[in-house]
Every structure is written in C-alpha cells, then in structure tokens.
Amino acid sequence: MPKVLVSDPIDQVGIDILSQVAQVDVKTGLPPEELIRIIPDYDALMIRSGTRVTQAVIEAGKQLKIIGRAGVGVDNVDVPEATRKGILVVNSPEGNTIAAAEHAIAMMLSMSRYIPAANQSVKGGKWSRSSFTGVEVYKKTLGVVGLGKIGAHVATVARAMGMKLLAYDPFISTERAEQLGCRVVELDLLLQEADFITLHLPKTPETTHLINTEALAKMKPTARIINCARGGIIDEAALTIALKEGKIAGAALDVYEAEPLGESPLKELGKEIVLTPHLGASTEEAQVNVAIDVAEQIRDVLLGLPARSAVNIPGLRPDVLEKLRPYLQLAETLGNLVGQLAGGRVESLNVLLQGELATNESQPIVVAALKGLLSHALQERVNYVNASIEAKERGIRVIETRDASIKDYSGSLHLSAKGALGEYSVTGAVLGDDEIRITSLNEFPINVPPNRYMLFTLHRDMPGIIGKIGSLLGSFNVNIASMQVGRKIVRGDAVMVLSIDDPLPEGILAEITKVPGIRDAYTVTL
C-alpha cells in the first residue's frame, strides 16, 4: 500500500480521503534533517506553508510521485527540482478564492462604517455614536485593480450591492471585464475617480509600491483603499503619511511588507485604518476546500489518474518529459519574451512548430508558451494546468500550426503575438547540450542566448549607433554582458539585442530613444 506523509496540519477530511488508498502518517513540525531522513519511505507528501520542500528533500524522496500543497502558493517547494525528478507538484488554486474575496468586501464595509473602532469604543464603556459616522458603498465607485478570480468575485458582489465598477488589468480583455460589469480604464483614471480601491495583484517588480506617494496624491481625499492581495504593493510609509495628512480617508490592510507586522507607524493610526493578520484564506470552508482538493489529487495520482491542478507538467511520463523538457523551457522563454514585447493586453498568440519539432506532441509546448506569455502578469498564479484557461478568460486567441519543411535547425519554435504595443514575433531553437537560443526577432536574424535582463532596439543600420548606445549605457553604469545586431539589408532597418547585468535605471530608456537612428527600444525581464 502506498504511504503518504502529511507534514503540516490539514483538515481531517483530507486525511480521510488519503486513507482510502494509502497509509497516512501525520508528522508535523519536523526539523529539516528529520524530514530528509524519513522521506525515502513515502510515495506522496502533503504540506501547507510550514514545510520547506528543498532540493535535498526531493533528492532523498526516491519514491515520491507527488507533492501536494494545500493552498495556492508553492514558494516553499523547489518546483524545478521536482520537475526534473518527474514528481508532480499540485496545489489548490481556487480553494480560497471566495474566502479572499469575501474578506476584501468585509474590510471595505468595516472601514466605511468604522466597525472595529466602534466595537472597541463600546467595549470601553463609551456610547459615542457621532464619532463613527460612516459612508455608504451604495452608488459609490469601486476601482478593482486586477480582475483575476478573486477580483472578479469582488466585482460581482460589489455590483450586486449597487456599486459602480472601474477596472484596471492590462492582461484581461475588455470583453471579459464588461461581462463583469466593469469599465476598463487606465490606472491613473481609476485612482482619480474611485471612491474605494481594492487590489488583487501578484507582487512583482512592476507592482511593488504600485500605490506610492504619487499614486496616493491622485486619489480623492474621500477615497479608501483595500489590500488583501500581497504585502508591498502599497508603500506603507507613503500610506501612513497620506492618512495622517488627510490626503485619503481610509485604508484596510490584510497583508504587509513584513509579516508578522512588527513595529509600524500603521499601528499608531486611528479609526481611519483597519488591520488584520493575513486572514484572507482563514475560513473553515477554505481550509476544508484546499484539504479536499489536494487530497483528492494525491489519491488520484496514486491510483494512476491525472492531477487537475499540477503546477509543473501534468500527465507526462518521465521519458516523454525528458525528451520535451528543453523545448518546454524554450516555449516558456519565448512566450515570456513576446508577451512583454507585444504589451500586456495580448489579443492573439500564434504558435508554429518547425522542423523535427513539428512531429512531436504539441499540446505541452503550446501550454508552455501560454504559461510564459502570462507569467509576467500572473507570476505563480499561472501554471501548466491553468495557462489555457487563464488565456481563454482573457480573450486570447491561440492558433497552432506546423511546418516540418523548415529545417534551419533540427527543431525550432516560432511565436507571434498581437498586443497593446503591436504585433511581434520571435523564433528560437534548442542547440546541443539543450542550449536555448533566440534565432530571430520580428524576422531579423539573430543568435543570442536568453538573459535575465535584455534590451532590444529597432534602429537604422548606420555607422556609430552601436557606440552611442554603449556609451550611453556606460554613463548610467550599466554593464553589457553581450551584444548582437541583426539586419536584413545593409543600412536598412536592424535590431540590436543587448544582454545586461542589471535592470535599466529609471529614465534611461527614454534617453536611448532620443539617440538619432533609434526608432524604438524595449526592455525585457525573463
């Protein structure tokens, strides 16, 4: 009989499900060395956020077939190492959707009617009704920043409460937003017009301190903001000042830049702020839901059935996985690249499998391309299971074609995407030793390995332009790791690709576009 180790507390219903097909051992609070010592005996591991499943744990788990995380994030699991070992990693991406959405609504109402402060006042023996005159949400404008599953449910509930809805989400189609009753606007307009603003975004370099001093200054003095998404999206120091000076009317936070919340000026504020200790997923129903969801997936995998929410590659035998792995990495990299070049709101993605690659199973490659396309926006929320669903919900058309006659390389992949910034295409191939190369950009021939930070320019092929760009980057202390130019004809249009060691400092991209001969410039983070 298979053996399952449960190393974090989960609801009993999950253990009961696992017990249908396996011997279940519940051993919580294990030190890392003890987990490594006992994991070779187990076929499956079920965790929450407490257990760290490191490379050492995975290497020791010689019999492991599946790791199940009863929750959304899998930051505590070395997913790449598990994938290399052919171990499925599953989570419960929707188990706490309702809980998180309802908490955001509860925070909005608590803040608008000063419920926490009024509660404390009454318990303190006071009866000061006039001190807690609140505001109604009916007919007010709610700005929803991020229309994923949680943001969409918040919008649905708010609409039923009679609120007007604005939405900012660069990665969702206007059609989808309108189905939810939202008017899609740019962030600046949302900040200016909304009475309440609720954030439902992943934390990324682009969203870190998205709500900063400048953003807060654009809001109405009567506006209130809610963050039940990720700590760090709001600049807490700037928020504290804005609340103290009356630049906005209120805030409700469930997540913080550092958790648990220690010494913080937020705690010194009065009734205008509501603070809760990261309770978004803390409902009895959510804990039961994630336990059932993940336990059922572990049970199914142990019975030889597919998992429905694998965050790595689902349903592929290890031998097939080994063959396709470099092409899946290629597809994900190219998807990420073309998605950033085309702009956030992508309308369509064309996937062309060329040469020998055209004879392989295509679905995993298409899914990997979609995962890459959406990863810049959705981060850990997008995986190999939900990438197609997320793309469909955002109105992205996917077209797959094959051409075995193209034999520039033994097998290559061509992606083209149409988005807010226009239509872009990129081609890549896998060389010897599974080395990935980008071989063309917008049909301009190049041959460069992908790099964490890259700068692309479209320019006129003319003497001196490379030197000017190099000097400009040098003046900003930007180190160039490699550079290559691709052109079709002499002194015609050309592209330049620079791999750089660090992100470009703010403002330098605008300076690059001022260089004579430079037609456009883009930065990409892979």
**Residues labelled catalytic:** 230, 259, 278
Hey, what are 87's tokens? Answer: 């171990």
CA distance 365 to 371: 10
- Sheet with 518-525: list strands edge to edge: 480-487, 493-500, 453-460, 518-525
Spell out the residues 6+ positions from residue 209 whose beta carbon is closer than 8 angstroms to its own. Answer: 232, 233, 234, 235, 238
Strand-pairing partners, residue 521, are 457
Token representation of residue 88 = 């499925």
Phi and psi of 433, rounded to 5°?
60, 30
The helix or strand, by DSSP H or E, that contains position 12, with its residue range, turns out to be helix 12-18
Of the candidates 381, 318, 436, the residue with the CA atom closest to the CA atom of residue 169: 381
Burial of 319-337, coded b for 16+ CB within 10 Å and e otherwise, reads: eebeebbbbbbbbbbbbbb
- CB-CB contact of 460 with 491 (8 Å): yes
Triad 63, 68, 69: Cα angle to 5°: 140
Other C-beta atoms lying within 10 Å of the C-beta of residue 518: 19
- Separation CA 138–CA 97 (nearest Å): 24
